[in-house]
Structure 1
Amino acid sequence: MNVKRVFGAALTILGVFGLIYTGYQLINKSTAYTTLIVVGIIGLIFFFSGINLVKNTKDES
C-alpha cells in the first residue's frame, strides 16, 4: 500500500466535495461570495494536487 497514492486519493475526494459544495451554493444563489471563492480555490488546489500525486507516484512492489 503506497501512502502517497492513498493521500492523493483523499485529496482528490476532498477537492471534488469542495467543488460540488461551491457549485451547489452558487446555484442556490448564496450571498457569501467570499466564502465560496475561498472554498472553490481550496477545492481546486486539493483536486489538482491529489491528481498529480496519484499520477506521478511510481508503483514499487
Structure 2
Amino acid sequence: MLEYRIAARRIDVGTSLASTTIAKVRMDTGLAGSPDAFNPTELLLAAIAACMIKGIERLRPC
C-alpha cells in the first residue's frame, strides 16, 4: 500500500508552504493574494493536471 505524507505550515500573513521529502510548494493563503504562489484553486487544478499527465504517461511513455 502506498503511503503519502506532506507537511504544511504558515510562513507569514499571506503565504504558506507545503512540503514533502524534498519538494516544496509556496501557497497563497492570504486575503490580499500573492502573485508568486499558487492559490488554493490553482493548486487543486495543478494536482488534477499532474494526476492526468501521470496516468497518460503510464499508458504511453514518451
Instruction: Give the TM-score taking structure 1 as reference length.
Output: 0.36
Of Structure 1 and Structure 2, the greater helix share is in 1
More relative contact order in 1 or in 2 (CA 8 Å, sep 6+)?
1
TM (normalized to structure 2)?
0.36
Answer 1 or 2: which has greater strand percent.
2
